[in-house]
């Protein structure tokens, strides 16, 4: 997925992106904040856990939580990483998404 994106960029003569992605699924609170300059934002434990998924990911990989894995396992090939320590979250089961089934 990420490799294909970067391969297309390289073939077009552009620099590849170096990125990592983390995804967790669950409820969030969202809204518009600000009095002069408005911004739409989201908050909550799901957002914080997603940030932990991203920080535990690797370059060019999509790291998902066990919760998200449960939702996508029938449509995507994933590799288990086991339960990894996430800051202020404890051990979280994590998976790398490898591609569509």
**Dist. CA 27–CA 40, nearest whole Å:** 16
Q: For the chain, which residues make up each domain, given as ranges?
A: 17-100
Residue 87 annotated to the active site: yes
Looking only at the bridges linking them, the beta strands covering 21-23 and 62-65 are parallel
Cβ(46)–Cβ(71) under 8 Å?
no
The CATH class given to the 17-100 domain equals alpha beta
Nearest to 3 by CA among 97, 101, 69: 97
pTM of the model: 0.82
pLDDT tens track for 50-95: 999 999 999 889 999 999 999 999 999 999 999 999 888 899 999 9
Single out the catalytic residue among 52, 61, 89, 101. 52
pLDDT tens track for 39-52: 999 999 999 999 99
Single out the catalytic residue among 3, 9, 87, 101. 87
């Amino acid at each position: 997925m990420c490799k294909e994106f970067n391969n297309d960029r390289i073939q077009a003569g552009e620099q590849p992106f170096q990125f990592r992605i983390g995804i967790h699924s669950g409820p969030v609170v969202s809204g518009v904040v600000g009095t002069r300059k408005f911004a739409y934002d989201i908050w909550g434990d799901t957002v914080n856990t997603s940030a932990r998924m991203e920080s535990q990911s690797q370059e060019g990989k999509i790291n998902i939580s066990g919760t998200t894995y449960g939702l996508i396992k029938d449509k995507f090939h994933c590799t288990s990483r086991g339960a990894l320590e996430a800051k202020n979250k404890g051990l979280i089961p994590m998976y790398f998404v490898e591609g569509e089934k």
